[in-house]
A and B are shown apart, each in its own frame.
Chain A
């Protein structure tokens, strides 16, 4: 079961990267660069999976990839968020997150990547909530279903809130029933699959028409 989910996850990632590449013309940058981000994610996940199976330490791959992922996601929100102050905060957060990851990697003797993973999740959730607020307040008629970032935001919201829940539940359950906790953690790829399917949906969105008024 675990393997089936893992393979499905990799398939979803490959499909999203391939679709992102072939439909890159439909979107403006940075959305047209999604295939690069998805390909890097695929590469990183393949490496970490290989290291994990080989019994080697794989957390550093996640830690080093963290700033790249956050940079790309932040770039997506930067291209859509219109408030200059919030845009500046996002730019600062990119630097901040990069520094935190470097410190974590070099200065701390880490056993887990969950702290910086959760920090990234919190930052992304904050960004997407602000984006949804700004989208709601826009005084124009537009089709939200043709907004790529809307789908990415929905995917991210489900993925990160689901991941927070699973991580906390797994950690608690681990003390009582490690097997059950391992089984529970195996559903995590489902969240990843949902996230990358949302990326596919975002990439397939039609280019935006200019506002009518």
Chain B
């Protein structure tokens, strides 16, 4: 009888142990499984981020190469043709004695001169080597000058702090961002004043951009994914992120655009 009671106790204890270990097994399985899944998700997210960064980088690279090719073509081919055309007109101007014709030929020569100058400026702004050689501030200044020559915009570039280089890649990306912002101002803002501020602080580089145009509703533009509008802004955000910076837009309908790009800097 005592032996049977003992075996009942043994079975009861064993059964309880089995049940408890089963519950422990299920709970710990789910715990470790969820932990592993969280790791997988983090890995997947970082893989996606890396992939999109690489995509963006190659996109920027392709864009730069295309711009450079177009710039070279303008400089070497169209520029040369215009120079030859100007030369021919000068010859014609010399051999023609008719005063009225000479006047028209001179005007045409001036127009071709203006075109050559405009094309040279454009070719420089398309050339990434130009940014590398002259630096960010001069490239932006050159870009603003080009805009100023249209007589439709008043521009200003304000430099603060001691200038330093941000590295080729970062400077080219920042320059392309400024080009994109200028393009947006020309296309959409309807304003006539553009200000750019470059602040070279020891720990942080800041690029400020503002125009006095009609502005836009930032949230509406950024959420309009299906349409093409807003892609430029998305690209600016992605590019700033790519070079490790932070971008802040301040704009509302009727109050112009204010963009602030901050980049951490290590001068070592």
Cα-based distance from A185 to B7 in the complex (angstroms): 18
- B44→A141 contact, CB < 8 A: yes
- A161→B12 contact, CB < 8 A: no
- Of B11, B30, B32, the most chain A CB neighbours within 10 A belong to B11
Q: Is A169 on the interface with B (CB-CB < 8 A)?
A: yes
Q: Is B81 on the interface with A (CB-CB < 8 A)?
A: no
Residues of B contacting A139 in the complex (Cβ-Cβ under 8 angstroms) = 40
Cα-based distance from A173 to B9 in the complex (angstroms): 10
Question: Which residues of chain A from 164 to 190 have a CB within 8 Å of any chain B CB?
Answer: 164-166, 168-169, 172-173, 175-176
- Give B36's nearest chain A residue, CB to CB: A136
- A141→B19 contact, CB < 8 A: no
Question: Which residues of chain A from 119 to 175 have a CB within 8 Å of any chain B CB?
Answer: 132, 135-136, 139-142, 144, 154, 157-158, 161-162, 164-166, 168-169, 172-173, 175
Select one of B1, B14, B15, B26 contacting A157, CB under 8 A: B26
- A176→B5 contact, CB < 8 A: yes
Select one of B5, B25, B29, B47 contacting A213, CB under 8 A: B47
Q: Is B248 on the interface with A (CB-CB < 8 A)?
A: no
Q: Is A109 on the interface with B (CB-CB < 8 A)?
A: no
Select one of A141, A166, A168, A172 contacting B4, CB under 8 A: A172
- A173→B18 contact, CB < 8 A: no
Select one of B1, B12, B14, B41 contacting A141, CB under 8 A: B41
Residues of A contacting B37 in the complex (Cβ-Cβ under 8 angstroms) = 141-142, 144
By secondary structure, the B interface counts as: helix
Cα-based distance from A43 to B25 in the complex (angstroms): 34
* Chain B: minimal CB distance from A175 (Å): 6
Q: Is A3 on the interface with B (CB-CB < 8 A)?
A: no
Given the interface pairs A172-B8, A176-B5, A213-B47, the reply to whether A161 lies near B32 with Cβ below 8 Å is no
Q: Is A210 on the interface with B (CB-CB < 8 A)?
A: no
Q: Is B22 on the interface with A (CB-CB < 8 A)?
A: yes
Given the interface pairs A141-B44, A176-B4, the reply to whether A169 lies near B12 with Cβ below 8 Å is yes
Residues of B contacting A54 in the complex (Cβ-Cβ under 8 angstroms) = none
Cα-based distance from A6 to B211 in the complex (angstroms): 80
Q: Is A111 on the interface with B (CB-CB < 8 A)?
A: no
* Chain B: minimal CB distance from A83 (Å): 18
* Chain B: minimal CB distance from A123 (Å): 17
Q: Is B249 on the interface with A (CB-CB < 8 A)?
A: no
Residues of B contacting A165 in the complex (Cβ-Cβ under 8 angstroms) = 11, 14-15, 18-19
Given the interface pairs A139-B40, A141-B40, A168-B11, the reply to whether A158 lies near B32 with Cβ below 8 Å is no
- Give B42's nearest chain A residue, CB to CB: A141
Cα-based distance from A54 to B225 in the complex (angstroms): 72
Besides A141-B40, A162-B19, A176-B1, 4 new A-B residue pairs in contact (Cβ under 8 A), listed by A number? A157-B22, A165-B11, A165-B14, A168-B14
Interface residues of B (CB under 8 A from A): 1, 4-5, 7-8, 11-12, 14-15, 18-19, 22, 25-26, 29-30, 32-33, 36-37, 40-41, 44, 47
Interface residues of A (CB under 8 A from B): 132, 135-136, 139-142, 144, 154, 157-158, 161-162, 164-166, 168-169, 172-173, 175-176, 212-213
Q: List 29 A-B contacts (CB under 8 A).
A: A135-B33, A136-B32, A136-B33, A136-B36, A139-B40, A140-B40, A141-B37, A141-B41, A144-B30, A144-B37, A161-B18, A162-B19, A164-B18, A165-B14, A165-B15, A166-B15, A168-B14, A168-B15, A169-B8, A169-B11, A169-B12, A169-B15, A172-B8, A172-B11, A173-B11, A176-B1, A176-B8, A212-B44, A213-B47
